[in-house]
Chain A
Amino acid sequence: MEDNQIIDLYWERSENAIVETDKKYGRYCYSIAAHIVENEEDARECVNDTWLKAWETIPPNRPNRLSTFLGKITRNLALDRYRYHGAGKRNYGRVPLALDELKDCIPERKSYGREVEDLEIEEILNTFLENLTELNRKIFMRRHWYFDSVREIAAGYAISESQVKMSLMRSRNQLKKVLKKEEAKSIE
């Protein structure tokens, strides 16, 4: 079923909307959740919560891209669940590794007057992504948005794992430079 038709079902308050959404995006959302919570039960609950959230927000929303609309909800719910259940546990899911890697992107903090706002960071990230080559951008997103492993990414793009690692390292260094520049601006 086409996304528009599924969205129409939500607007009609038809329970088939959930059935069709699950059919089309169930595995997609489950994959996102499972990469974060690393527990089947929690992952399934995240997916169910996603459908509930979608039910509550469509209408009034009419998402342009249903897949990413649902994916974002799942990711946020799974990250919340991760923080609640597993933040203290070592190796709980893939998040600790992703966080560890993202540390490399954060400029060393000295004494900044005001923090860059979330929206500004979002804008910076969008510009940063825009400026990456298509392949580097996809690799970065697969790693830090979808929490895919290097092996999965390499297999997905039919490239070597070393290439993936190198691409990620370069992208993170680039992001660090961009963030450092922006933070320096915010001091001025």
Chain B
Amino acid sequence: MNEQRLLKVLGNVEEKYIEESVRYAKESGAYMDEFSAYKEEGEVMKENREYVKEAGERKIAGFAGRKILVIKGLGVAACICMISILVIHGIAPKQSSGGKSEDADFMGAESNVQRSEDEKMLNHGQSDEELQAKIHALDTMSGDAIGWMVVDDVLYWQYDTNFDLDTIDIGEYLGQGDEFTGNYHDPACTAEVYRVEGRSDLLYLKLSNGGNIFLVERDWESFD
């Protein structure tokens, strides 16, 4: 069986399921009437363009069968990385607040509040503990289940190993795979990490064994 056949057969499932799922529009009030006022033509085409953008959000496909160089990530590295980021974004403003003044305590408190908010923003609305817990969860996932990496506090998941390289422009070189938190730490096969031009949500990994891997930005929320 292949996916084309599955897609075709899926087209013939019981009609009640096809009809039932159309009615979602009614529940949310997104559309006034489930059929006759379904969608304007222009709207459908606009949505199509957005959908294609979702290419980057495709589920990481076919991990089980692929021999990808994936090893367990380093939780300690994650902690160090996070602490470094917090130090840069949290302590620096405090130092720049200058000498002591009458308002020093108040300013300090305000600075702490600001820092805490900054940390939350940096962590995509999560507390540091929540983020650490999620990184730990990722770190302890089965090594062959998923490829992941954190770059600039953004989480990327592996989703395609057979991307057509001719269709993309490789961007800025970021470093070696083992410099980043994640599970690309195999001394037997190193990986160069690049950005992809025009696709800030993608990372391209060029493996020393000739392989190519793409990672896509993922919501931290995905682990809720």
Contacts and interface: CB of A to CB of B under 8 A. Distances in A.
B165 interface: no
B14 interface: yes
Query: By CB atoms of chain A within 10 A, which of B1, B57, B58 has the most?
Result: B1
Interface in B51-106: 51-52, 54-55, 57-59, 61-62, 64-65
Contacts of A172: 59
Interface residues of A, number: 76
- Tell me which of B5, B52, B62, B167 has the highest count of chain A C-beta atoms within 10 A of its own C-beta: B52
A18 interface: no
B59 A104 contact: yes
A23 B36 contact: yes
B221 A160 contact: yes
Contact of B21 (A23, A75, A106, A145): A145
Given A30-B41, A141-B20, A157-B28, A126 B14 contact: yes
**Taking chain A's interface residues, is the majority helix, strand, or loop, or is none over half, making it mixed?**
helix
Interface string A161-182: 1100110110010000001000
Interface of B: 1-15, 17-22, 24-25, 27-28, 30, 35-41, 44-45, 47-48, 50-52, 54-55, 57-59, 61-62, 64-65, 164, 167, 219, 221-222, 224
A81 interface: no
A148 B61 CA distance: 19
A164 to B, nearest CB: 10
5 contacts: A76-B11, A95-B7, A100-B3, A162-B224, A168-B59
A31 B38 contact: yes
Contacts of B47: 149, 152
A32 to B, nearest CB: 9
A72 B92 CA distance: 61
Contacts of B5: 118, 121
Nearest to B65: A108
Interface stretch (A9-17, A50-58, A86-94): A86-94
Contacts of A64: 15
A116 to B, nearest CB: 7
Nearest to A156: B24
A121 B8 CA distance: 11
A67 B36 CA distance: 11
Contact of A100 (B2, B36, B38, B61): B61
A85 interface: no
B195 to A, nearest CB: 20
A121 B2 CA distance: 12
B130 to A, nearest CB: 14
B62 A121 contact: no
A34 B44 contact: yes
Contacts of B164: 90
A68 B9 contact: no
Contact of B219 (A65, A116, A162, A168): A162
A125 B13 contact: yes
The CB with the most chain B CB atoms within 10 A, among A27, A93, A147, A169, is that of A27
Contacts of B221: 160, 162
